[in-house]
Copies of this chain bind each other. A is one copy, B any other.
Amino acid sequence: MTSTPQSSDLDPAIAARLKRSADGLVPAIAQQYDTGEVLMLGWMDDEALHRTLTTGRCTYWSRSRQEYWVKGDTSGHYQHVKSVALDCDADTVLVKVDQVGAACHTGARTCFDADVLPVTQ
């Protein structure tokens, strides 16, 4: 598989304004739609965004495995897509989801629960 935009079925009107990093990806923030919890950050290429918009399940591009990754396919912890938005300069995606179970592979509800840094001022 490839992360190049050419291989994607993403709506050309969206693809035309998407601003990707050098590796063809944009960061995608997954947020629990009702509680507002930020669950995790993944990466999407055009095709992953297309699948997220059209399948109802949040789909990422795994940078480590270099393959598409439907969140929950292994764990059962699917992210059911409620809404998707681009930011003002179209280089970040915010996906509001209904998260089944734990978002984090560690079993924590979110990926940001465990490592709180000390703030001093």
Contacts and interface: CB of A to CB of B under 8 A. Distances in A.
A99 interface: no
Given A36-B35, A94-B38, A119 B83 contact: yes
A10 to B, nearest CB: 10
Contact of A55 (B56, B114, B121): B121
Number of contact residues on A: which range applies?
Answer: 35 or more
Contact of A121 (B31, B54, B92, B121): B54
A90 B114 CA distance: 11
Interface of A: 11, 14, 21-22, 27, 29, 31, 35-38, 40-41, 53-56, 81-90, 92, 94, 104-106, 108, 111-121
